Structure formats: structure tokens, C-alpha cells
Structure 1
Amino acid sequence: MDIQVADTLLGSLVDGRYRISGRVARGGMATVYTATDERLDRTVALKIIHPSQARDVQQQLGRFLERFTDEAKTIARLTHPNVVAVYDQGTHAGLPYLVMEYVRGRTLRDILAERHRLNPDEALAILEQMLAAIAAAHRAGLVHRDVKPENVLVAEAPSGGMGNLVDSVVKVADFGLAQAVEASADDEAGSQLLATVAYVAPELVTDGRADPRTDVYSAGIVLFEMLTGRVPYDGDRPVDVAWQHVDRDVPAPSTLVPTLPPALDRLVSRATRRDPAARPTDAGMLLVEAQAAHEELGNAGDSTTVLRRVTDATMPIAQPTMVVSALQPTDRPSWSRLHGQPTQSRAGRRRAAVQPSGPGAQLREFWDQLMSGGRGRTAVAASIVVLGLIAALTGWWFGVGRYTDAPGLVNMSKAQAEAKAAQGGFTLVYGQPRYDAKAAKDTVVSQDPASSARIVRGGTITLILSLGPERFPVPDVMGKTLELAQLELEQANLVVVQGPQKYDDNLPAGVVIALDPKVGTEVKPGAKITVTVSKGRAPLSVPNLVGKSITDARAALQRLGLVPVETYKDSDKPKDQVIGQSPEDGAGVEKGAEVKLEVSKGPPPVVVPRVVDMPCMDAKALLESQNFPVNIQFNPAGTVRFQNPNENSQVPPGTPITIGCI
């Protein structure tokens, strides 16, 4: 039993103007309805975002609506016969909507589902109109991002029906809508691939970047499907299909349909190169190549013969006879002509010549009169030449003349690149910088388009600058166990080297006590870090030896199995007294460890002054002022006649001086 859910929008009036009358299609992001513009009394197509999409961007709804409005205004300025026109935009019940031109016809997807594949003439006619629309968008700074048969509408020809697709008008829809949603919505992975995976360009899969060459790739896949009846890749999961675009070259269509000419293989190959720099720079360039391929097929068709069987009734046995007629290119009506195509083929003009009456009879009569005179023919010929030159110059400008080669900016400094780009009139934008082991900071490491690639004059070049060699500080793992320290260092892309273990009085066994290089040192990825681990407290404690004689200190250390290392220094302490030690007392050491001792050489010697011939009491006062004890012999009231030690002798401080007074 079929269950249908009522669509609450059917019959509703949107913005007091658009009466919804029917539902045309429902996609993953929006639903398309037919509606009547009650103000202008015309049928329009109204596309309204699904409520689920609005919920997905609820937290950023203001920003989304602002981008949606700006995008709608940009699309509305695309006045091109092959672009579905946008008339209006707004919100209904909190949901953004677009009002667009209603195209009577079917999508290219519907046609391919019915006919499987198209002949080359039809496929190229559709492709050329697609590219004309996309090229207009590229000139306006828009990238479609989702070129696929579902977004290509094939309108009915004025004569009715869609038997000959060459006479149909193609219109491309959904310009910029995917771009507006992508710029406003966040997904859990941090990026959103809105393009259908069967037509997605490799650069959208690898880094999410889109430019006009992305649309060129998708158009090439659409041409492949029109010629072969299938897309080049399939898989069980969308991600598998997407990565095949990155890893594999699109096969030539003739591998599936052997009768296809080489010109179509070349065209598909040019459009679907995996490297964006190897593709035509935008849809305008690809359109020139598509028209050249179409012309090549047309020239080949001029010499093609058609064989039909004719039975001669006078012959007793029917014998097949070949009647040869040249194939003429299909005429396109004026409303569906591509730029540069003639109004009629020569065959069409011959058919018109045998029709003396009808709406064009007077015009035909005027033409005959004009061509009857030499001056008229000269004027017509001159006009044709001028128009041909204008068309040629216009085609040259849009196809070749407005393009130039991108300058080479890689390995330049930022200032040098900006100066060179300014000389050529180019605009620079900067992508996310990256570390580079060989390039100095602020040096250009890549550019898009690449050097010498085709670019519109005054176009935009994206530069990636170097952050210099990657450096980061050694993390602090002191006091952590060896296992945790090793894990943290390896996560920082460092190589752990375990050094010799050492005793430590403060940290238990098994934890890190030292790093080489030290914590905070700037190192490059892959640098070796030597880790020293504690063995715990040492089994012996160093005794306090300061103040002891060197003899006693040696004996104490030897009893513990420690080795004294002595250094003698000047000191006011008594000679041979220990005045310092390392390690300090109480420090833990193992047996056989060295203990450094600082030993006093005693105070420096002093010079004995001359006191001979001085009054005895004056000599005593002088010597005592210099800390010499004085011993007086004989007469204290007399004069000093000798002294011991003698004058200018060097003696230890405090040495007693004997003076003899008479």
C-alpha cells in the first residue's frame, strides 16, 4: 500500500506573491515547486531549502542567510541565455527560497536514463551550451562546484518535442547555491564535499579547494557520460568513488564505444586531467576546444557518404546500387545558435530558395535585388569580411587574447613576489602557510596557478608561504616515569635515547632526572633526546668533614670506601684544615665515589717591620698593632738594639717578636 505524505507547501502563498501549485523535484538540499507569480501572472520555479538543512545551520543562520542573499544577487546578474535566470529571493517560515525561471523540458539525467547515451553531435551541442553558461559564471567570479546532468535542463525546441537535441536549448541551474551552503554549514569532519562524487574534481577530494578548473573537470565527466552512457568510476561507497578521481586517469570514451573519433578522446582527456594546472583554465577555454573538436567532426562529415539500397525494377534480380549524398550539418534555429555559428547551412539556403512565398518572401526579394548589382555584392562581401574580423577578434580575445602566462613566484620572498605580481597586474591571496625544511620563513613554496600556466590577465594567484624549518621546544618530562616520558617525547616526533642511570637523593628509582638537550630547547622533528633515569638514593652517606684535619678526613673516607680528592687553597684557617667538601655531608653516594676536599694552606705570611733604634715602648706598640706578640728583654725604658725575627722576614701572622732594649 502506498502512503503519501501531504506537502504542506502545496497551495500556500509565499511572500504574498507566489502561489505554489505543484512539486517538480526533491533533492538532497532543497525542493523545487512550480508556482504562479500572481503579480506578473507568469509561471516560475520556486526552490526552497529543506527544514533539515535549516536546522543544520541553525547556530549560524544569520551568516547563512546573508551569504545566501549575496549569492542570489550575484547569480541574478548572470544574464545569459543558457543560465536559469533568478528573479527573486527571500525566506518563508524561516526557510530561504529562490524564485527562478521555469524551464519547460527535462533534465539531462532524465534524457540519459531514457536514451542511455547520445550521438557525438548532440553531446557536443549540449556541452557547448553548458560551457557557455559556466564561462559566464566564471567571468563573474562564480564557481558552480556541482556540474552534473541533474543541473542541466534541456528545454523543448520551439518546433515541439525533443527528438533532435541539437535544436534544443540548454540551461544550467544551481549556480552558487552549493557554494553558499558550504560557506555557512559545518560538518563533523570540518569540511563538506557537496559536489556529487561521480563528477567531483580531485582537488575537491584532497584539500576542498575549488576554482574554475573544478567545473572544467566535472563538465568533462558529463561529456564522458553523454558519449558512453556511464560515468568512469563506481564503487560500493561514495568515498571509494571520490578517491578514484584522485588516483586514476579518466579512460578514453572510445575504450567503451569504439566508434567514437579521436577528437572526442582528446577533448575528454584535456578536461579531466588530474592536475588542475594541466586543464583549460576555465570554461571559456574549454568551450574553444569543444568548438574546435565539433568543427573537426563537421569537416570529417563533409566527406562522409550515405549508402542506401535502390532496387532497379527493370533488372530480373534486385541489385543494390549506391547513391552517394554528402551529410550536411544540422541547422540550428536562431534562438539556440552558439556564438560564431552561421544562421543556416548551404543546404538550408537552397531549401529556402525554392520557397517563393511565405513570411520571408519580401526579404528574399530584397536580397535578390541587392545581390543583382556589383556594388551590392561588394558591400555584402565587405560587411561579411568586417563581421568575420569582429567575430575572429572577439573569439580570439575570449579564447586566447585575455589570457597570459602566470609568473614564476616560487622561491621568492613575500616582498619580491608582491612586487613581481604588481608589475604584471595580478592579485595575490595567501593560503595556509606551512613548515618547510629548506625554505626560509616568508618564502613562497607553491603557487596556484603554477608558473607559466594560463591565467586571465589581472587574475588572482594563490601563494603558500613557508613558516621556515619546523622547530618546537623539548617537553618537560622531568619527574615522570621512563615509560610516560618516552611516550610523550615520541608523540612530539622526537627520538628517545636512554642514557646511563644515576643515583638521586630526591627522586625515586625509575623516573627521569635529566634531559639532553634540556627542557625548552628548540629542536627539529626527529631530534634525539638523551634521557637519564634515577636509580634512587645512593647506599652511602658522605660524612661532615669540614673543620677536621686532612689526616682525619682521609681516614674517615677510607673507612667508607670513598676516595678523597684534595685541593689546597689560601685561607685564614689553620693549615691542613678541611674548609670545604663536595658532595655535602649527608649526600648519597656509592662505594668508590670521589669526595672533593678543599684544604687550607694556612694564612699568608706577613712581613716583620724594622723596630731597631726605636724607643722600646714605641717598638712594642707598633708590633702589637700588627698582631705580633712582643717579648721585651733588658731595659723597657731603653732603645731597641736588636729584634728576632729580623726586619723584613716573612712569618705567619701572630708570630711572637723578641726585642732587646738597652
Structure 2
Amino acid sequence: MGPQRPPTGAAAPGPVAAHQMGAAPANPTLIHSQTEMLTAPAVRPAAEGPKRRGFRPHWFIVVLVVLMAAAIGGTGWWFSEGRYTKVPDLSGLNITIAKSEAEKQGFEVKIGTPEHDKEVAEDKVLRTEPEPGKEVLAQSRITLIPSAGPVKIAVPNVVNLPEADARAKISEASLTAGTVSRVPSDTVQRGLVLRTNPQVGTKVREGSRVQLVLSAGQLMPDVSEMQCDQAEAFLRGKGYNPTIVQQTDNAQPGTIIAQNPAARAEVTAGQNVQLTCSKGPDTGFHWPWENPDNVQPGQALVAIPDVRFKNVGDATRELRTAGFQVRVRKIAGAGSVVAENPLGQAPAGTRITIWH
């Protein structure tokens, strides 16, 4: 028979039984240790000692953190604000001064094409691009637009046009026809524009007034008091057909005392003109310079310089230097003397009339 199993429910054999049954004997020490582990009370963890003090970073770590924070803040400021600046307001400044000022502030400056403006004078800053106050990157380019001043228009050529046509042409040029005056002219037909003021071609502001000077045509020249031979020669040179009649008069003999047509009457080229010439009084009166016997004591006769065909200014100075008074009368508008009265001799201080 084989070995018999213990019956079910039977207690496990103890050490003696096991020994008796031939099992290897157990280690007493091991058994004792196991027994103590089973029977010993739970061991509580030893009480914790005092807490250790917190870690204190070294001073250079604090400085490093501060520097890093400043660098981060500065970088943020640079990318958000530091790279930008505002366009200065240079309006109204001289373009050269404005350019210099903008360059001092670090901008690159370009001068744009001038534009006309009624208010801002020429060569002053009209505006900037970008506009003043706008934020742009530092050292950006800004463009200065200079003013060309008000629009200027050349006075159109309206010479030899009738007044109505001249007014229309001036209006078409964005100008305004102003006052009208009339002056005599031997070359321009009566009623046509002789000249303008300002002159044709002059550049003026848009809307400016242009005065018209119309031709009054030929007007009868005033030859009164002129010596008869000089008056006749002058009128023939102007295209008239003069005739002379003599008449007794207290006026200086040989001078014009009347004319027909009258002075400044409208006439035409080739017109007949009657001149009345004084023969002097019928009592045998003679002007002092014609009769030396009648010269007052102490009054010497002085030779009258003949200044005909000389420049008016030079003639005037020459006569005054000789001791005479001078009266200047305009008859032809020339720059030289066309007639003089009296001629010959006269006492110093006598008034000499010259025509030009």
C-alpha cells in the first residue's frame, strides 16, 4: 500500500508529527523569526525631523532675470512702438527749409511735382505724403508737394480786335475784361484794341482784370501857339492837307491862333485843315526880342537854342541851362522835339514852349 493521506478535515500535522513522518526538520531560527513577524505590532514610521529652509537663489540669478525681462520688454516695445515715428507738419514752409528739417528727423525726402494753389505761395510746402501726424517706420521716405502758386494765364493777344471780340477772348482765357480807355492813333482804326494793360503775353492770376485801350483813331493835333511854318510842316507829315490864313492879332506874330477842325476833334487821314496865323497887332507893336530898342534897361537878349529833333529831356536841360523857362506839350507822343517857339533871341527867363 502506498502512503495514506490524512483524512479530510484533519488538522495538519505539527512539527513533531512531521518529523515522525520522516519530513525534514524545520529551521528553528527561521520559524522564530516568522513567528515574531506575525505577532509583532505594526511599526510606526519615525517622527519627521524639522523642515529644511527654502532655497535662496544667488544674486546674479536675480540680475539675470531682471535683464531678461527688460530685454523682452524692450523688444516688445521696439516691434510695437519703437520702430515708428510721426510725419512732421511742414505745411507752408519753404520747400528747401522743409526738406532740410525732415532730413534732420531721419526721413528720406523726395520733392514731388508742384501743384497750383490759390492760397499757398509758390515754392512753399502744399502738403506731404503721407499726411502729417501719420505713424510710419523710422527713416521712411516722405514726399513734399510744393505749391506752384495760383494758376497764371498769359494775357491773350486781342490787339486790332473790336471791343466785343476782345472781351469774349479774354473771358475764354479765364480772365476778366476791365475798364476801357481811348487814345488817339494814326495807325490803328478807331474802335479797335490798341493795347492791353497788363500787356499781351504777361502772365497774371486766373480771373485777373485786363484793361483795354482802344484806338480813338486820328484826333486833330493841338498846334495852337506853334509857329505857323512848323505847324504846317508837322501836319503835312501826319497826312493832313493844311492851309494858312493870316490875321491881325495881339498874339506873337507868326504863331497859330486858331485851327479847324478844333484840337482833339475826330479826323481822318488826308483831311483838310485850316490854320489861322497871327500877323501881330496893326499898331506896329513888336515883341521885345524882335525890337532891341524896346528892351528894358539891364535886359540883354540871349540866343535861344534850337532844340528841334533833339530828345525831350536833353532839349529841356539845354534850354534851362541857357536861362529860359520851359513848357513841354505833347502833340505826337514822340520822344523828340517836333516844334519850338519862340526861336531866335529873347531875354533870359522867357518861357520857351516845345512840342513832342
| TM more than 0.5 | no
> Which of the pair has more CA radius of gyration?
2
Which structure shows the bigger proportion of residues in helix conformation? 1
Higher relative contact order (CA 8 A, sep 6+): 2
Which structure shows the bigger proportion of residues in strand conformation? 2
TM-score w.r.t. length of structure 1: 0.25
